[in-house]
Structure 1
């Protein structure tokens, strides 16, 4: 088995969204490699150096940026279930404000988390970083693209060294790609999938993604001003990915034509959100699950030496073990 990359990281790293699934995994790995890691999130975690704060109001926590070598900006509203105004306020204006605070603190490096959704819903199979981005009828794609524009403009003017990361569908035990589908699958209505589940899911197991980020941090000389896709380099039919989750949880997947799936997701998701409960059900989610292609990681492999270690089957075994511990598996 290929070993995980383990360069020494003698760096002071500040993470926005530090309590998130990805933020916590990165922080743990970075510390194990010698880094000092702090961050900000809506809820403080003093034990792990995380202060409470809103990225749209960095003046309340910007002092924490002093002395950092790099800011990794992960905080965002994820998914299609938000209004464009709300998503823009966090994903674009919030990014601008975090970037300005970074510059004022004299931090020399900024890593922006974008998304493979910057390519939109329709693109050539094996799309790479040279392909143009595409704004769709979806707040998430719109705001992630515009967030990229904010930070790349700062890099172009020489204000700060920027790297843009476009993660694939980051998953693993406890991730939103596991918890949310299982929560829907075990309901009588089941988890909706468009077009017979023939859409392509582009997974990146959390350990693989963190390994990619380790390599990004370890090689600033080749990542400045660059954009990298980080996924497992494979496409999994949605019926297989979500079918495995349904099998382990005893839930069900419901296959619907895309036109019906988008309308139903918008309607049901809106009703759920009116009760004050967040739901990722939205038309954009269904279009995302109906993608027909996947994404090239050749650049990350060539420039960074990136190589996914955890396979899809191994990842599912780990998820199944976690789900059993959580009491989410079928008896």
Structure 2
């Protein structure tokens, strides 16, 4: 089997999302032939990909037949698609997307002789880490259905690695950058001074700028030493939640956040929200998985990726936050930047 394969024709799942989309566009900009598996080819995000020369296959990653159609004829598969934290999805849906799709990808790759699979897992499989910084060998400790289903999918990939399937596994840290809206609420509430720090805010938090993460994915798809390995990918340093909030406030040129509120009332409110919304199939505005933002430590070592792959993050936290804030402003999500007196 070719262990240093040319990246001739890549399939990207999750390409209409933030991370998968950035990966697909980068691969195409680098001259590669790219295909995307999308749920609807007429969706605006899918049409935007097609306009860049990315071919589309309609289907769902939970559908083995659709995955087979998408994989046929490709040399590399980047499996980025996932369902993230949303309380209105049943556990079975998480497992269909985050676990069962991995089996579909692997089976199709075997049938069609794919050179390399890059499977996107999550640093969340380690849960609330006690070891600072955590490494790829730190014990698993998933704390919710998203993390459990991602771990189950990763275990399927690990089993296939043992059977000789050329797979690399990536566990990204908190992904952000222009185009992301997951951190938008944090920026907006800091800007309008409604953000409240629940708990002490001294837990570790590790970010991953999307362009750096994409470089990590591509390295895992092309470097000979990546086969059969698992890598934590993120920035080269971590901060605390207090530090992240302070940095965002400084980037936005607003006063720093002051004061801390006990976490217990927030957790109780989240529990009541979930109980009240679940019978109606409504995604609650607050749920326990979001409370974990304030309580679970996330700090990881990327030394393995640096040593084995030559992975080197290019964008520091301050620059990444500035780029993200600039995109939010350009999209009208945040107020325009204040003009300097010199201007």
Whether 1:301 aligns to 2:317 is no
After the TM superposition, which residues 15-94 of structure 1 pair with which residues of structure 2 at under 5 Å, given as runs?
15-44=12-41, 45=46, 46-47=50-51, 48-60=54-66, 62-79=68-85, 81=87, 82-94=89-101
Q: 1:234/1:215 Cα in 2 relative to 1: closer, same or farther (>3 Å)?
A: same
Query: Which ranges in structure 1 are unaligned for 5 or more consecutive residues?
Result: 1-7
CA contact (8 A) 1:249 1:330 kept: no
* Per-residue CA distance 1:247-272 (angstroms, 9 max, x = gap): 73979978432332323234446667
> Which piece of structure 1 moves more, 138-147 or 284-293?
284-293
Alpha-carbon RMSD across the aligned residues, in angstroms, is 3.0
The alpha-carbon deviation at position 96 of structure 1 amounts to 1.9
Equivalent pairs counted in the alignment come to 320
Whether 1:102 aligns to 2:106 is no
Cα separation, 1, equivalents of 2:83 and 2:15: 14
Cα separation, 2, equivalents of 1:315 and 1:9: 31
Please give the secondary structure, in 1, of the residue aligned with 2:156. helix
Cα separation, 2, equivalents of 1:181 and 1:201: 14
CA contact (8 A) 2:10 2:76 kept: yes
2:244 to 241, 246, 251: 241
| Alignment correspondent of 1:204 | 208
CA contact (8 A) 2:86 2:283 kept: no
Please give the secondary structure, in 2, of the residue aligned with 1:170. strand
Please give the secondary structure, in 2, of the residue aligned with 1:300. helix
The alpha-carbon deviation at position 123 of structure 1 amounts to 2.5
CA contact (8 A) 1:233 1:295 kept: no
Larger radius of gyration between Structure 1 and Structure 2: 2
Cα separation, 2, equivalents of 1:259 and 1:266: 11
* Per-residue CA distance 1:20-74 (angstroms, 9 max, x = gap): 1111111122223232111112232243223321111131352232221111111
Give the structure-1-normalised TM-score.
0.85
Please give the secondary structure, in 2, of the residue aligned with 1:197. coil
| Alignment correspondent of 2:229 | 226
1:289 to 291, 294, 297: 294
Q: 1:194/1:101 Cα in 2 relative to 1: closer, same or farther (>3 Å)?
A: farther
Cα separation, 1, equivalents of 2:211 and 2:97: 27
Cα separation, 2, equivalents of 1:273 and 1:321: 37
Whether 1:322 aligns to 2:319 is no
